[in-house]
Amino acid sequence: MKQILTDYLDICLKFRKEYLSKPERKQRHILLTEWDKAQYADGNPTIPELYEFWDNHKDVSYNKVFIEKVIVPAVNVDIGNEGIEGLKFLFYCLRGKDAFLYRSSDSPVSIFSNERNYKYSPFQLADMVLEKEPDNEDALKVKYFIGKEILWYSIHEIPYGVLNGVNGANISDIPDMLSSVDRFQTISNKLKIDNDKILIEDCRKFYAAYREYLQQLERYADFEDYLNKNNISYERYCSTYYYDKENKR
């Protein structure tokens, strides 16, 4: 085992996994800061060595300092050599994690993206793997969970409107938004996930309805008025419907 991993593990094993006192947290922070600044003559571990360490020590590896100092440089080297093994390892680190962590800024994928100044989004990183390995399940899951959140967020303000990102959607946005639903359904089918039917149907329904509403704003007081007058059902819908009903994110 490379010395950088041995030293990190020694620090982690000095403390309980949780419920540390304030002095203990401070001491651990000091030790990790010193470790982070240290230079190691035998260099960083390779991707295969990272797999072995991660599998044996998952409980101490999911740490931002560790990811930034050890994992990010190894992935950068692999990308520099036009490889995808480093990216595959990033996605592998999310196996067994809650869906929330796929979207979290604390995930290895998000941390790597941030360290690269967001030159590549998590979506783009996944595409880099899928371009060479179209059936890579770990990369597909990243696109699935992030894509699901984007779709859910776009309609979470129904009946008041449809969002594209944080802004209200425009007529010109709708074709690509509908295409994104198709792409999400393809990924969902590929992963054999069958609990997205309502989300997919609602996105298609409300996207198309919102485009029609925007094309004739003068006829309606607001989008809710449009939905009511065109008998488009939204009674069961509220801003927390998917949050509470589907997977309690």
- CA torsion 222-226-228-229 (nearest 10°) is 130
In this structure, are residues 189 and 177 in contact, taking their beta carbons and an 8 Å threshold?
A: no
Give the whole-number percent of the chain exceeding pLDDT 90.
Answer: 78
- CA 148 – CA 120 distance, rounded (Å): 19
| Phi, psi for 169 (deg, rounded to 5) | -70, 150
In this structure, are residues 63 and 9 in contact, taking their beta carbons and an 8 Å threshold?
A: no
Helix (H, G, I), strand (E, B) or coil at 95: coil
Closest CA to 173 of 161, 160, 157: 161
Residue 236: predicted pLDDT: 66
Q: Cβ neighbours of residue 237 under 8 Å, at least 6 residues apart? A: 155, 158, 159, 202
pLDDT tens-digit series, residues 209-229: 999 999 999 999 999 999 999
Res. 242: pLDDT tops 60: no
Res. 248: pLDDT tops 60: no
Helix axis angle, 174-190 to 137-154, nearest 10° = 140
Q: Cβ neighbours of residue 4 under 8 Å, at least 6 residues apart? A: 35, 38, 40, 42, 44, 45, 69, 70
| pTM, rounded to two decimals | 0.84
**pLDDT class of 105 with cuts at 50, 70, 90:** confident
Res. 245: pLDDT tops 80: no
Give the residue with greater pLDDT, 221 vs 243: 221
In this structure, are residues 149 and 158 in contact, taking their beta carbons and an 8 Å threshold?
A: no
pLDDT tens-digit series, residues 166-213: 999 999 999 999 999 999 999 999 999 988 999 999 999 999 999 999
Give the residue with greater pLDDT, 242 vs 194: 194
**How far from chain centre, in Å, is Cα 125?**
11
pLDDT tens-digit series, residues 2-53: 999 999 999 999 998 788 899 999 999 999 999 999 999 999 999 999 999 9
pLDDT tens-digit series, residues 119-154: 888 999 999 999 999 999 999 999 999 999 999 999
